[in-house]
Amino acid sequence: MASVMMQYSLLDRRPEEEISGLLEERGVSIVVRGVLAKGVLINKPIEPFLQYSSGEVAHIVRNLANLSKRIGKDNMIVALSYVLSNAAVATALVGVSTKLQLDELIRAKEQMIKFSDSDKQVLLEGVRSLYYTEHR
């Protein structure tokens, strides 16, 4: 097995619980889907996501916006960079439906950032961890 496709984003950090580390130890990479959480992390209306309430989602999006503003990048770049900073992640699949979205994604590729521990702390401040509950 060379890779595993799974959902992973700031709103779904369940792979961080133990799966990404286990895959990395065995030399199996992750192909990520859902990195923008159906657009909620970049511009869609706030709604409950997985086990998070609307309020918790709003808090995560606020953390993302605050860090993005502080480092001068947009939410998409920071959200993508967060996921790609996981050593087990090989690539992220991002859906686009317009030429504008494709152009934005191509530009974002050139602007990925390297995450520091303090950047991750800003993003995850006050955010509870989620765990796989139905796939154990």
Q: Which residue has the tokens 């030399």?
A: 27
**89 in helix, strand or coil?**
strand
Mean pLDDT of 25-37: 95
What distance in Å separates the CA atoms of residue 97 and residue 103, rounded to the nearest whole number?
11
Nearest one of 116, 103, 106, 93 to 35, comparing CA atoms = 93
Look at residue 136 and tell me whether its pLDDT is greater than 60: no
Q: Say what the pLDDT of residue 110 is.
A: 86
CATH topology of domain 3-124: TIM Barrel (3.20.20)
pLDDT tens-digit readout, 75-106 = 999 999 999 999 999 999 998 888 988 888 88
H-type helices in the chain, by residue range? Answer: 19-25, 54-71, 75-84, 99-109, 117-124
Look at residue 120 and tell me whether its pLDDT is greater than 60: yes
Extract the tokens encoding 32.
């990520």
Is the model's pTM score more than 0.95? no
Q: Say what the pLDDT of residue 135 is.
A: 62
What distance in Å separates the CA atoms of residue 131 and residue 68, rounded to the nearest whole number?
26
Look at residue 108 and tell me whether its pLDDT is greater than 90: no
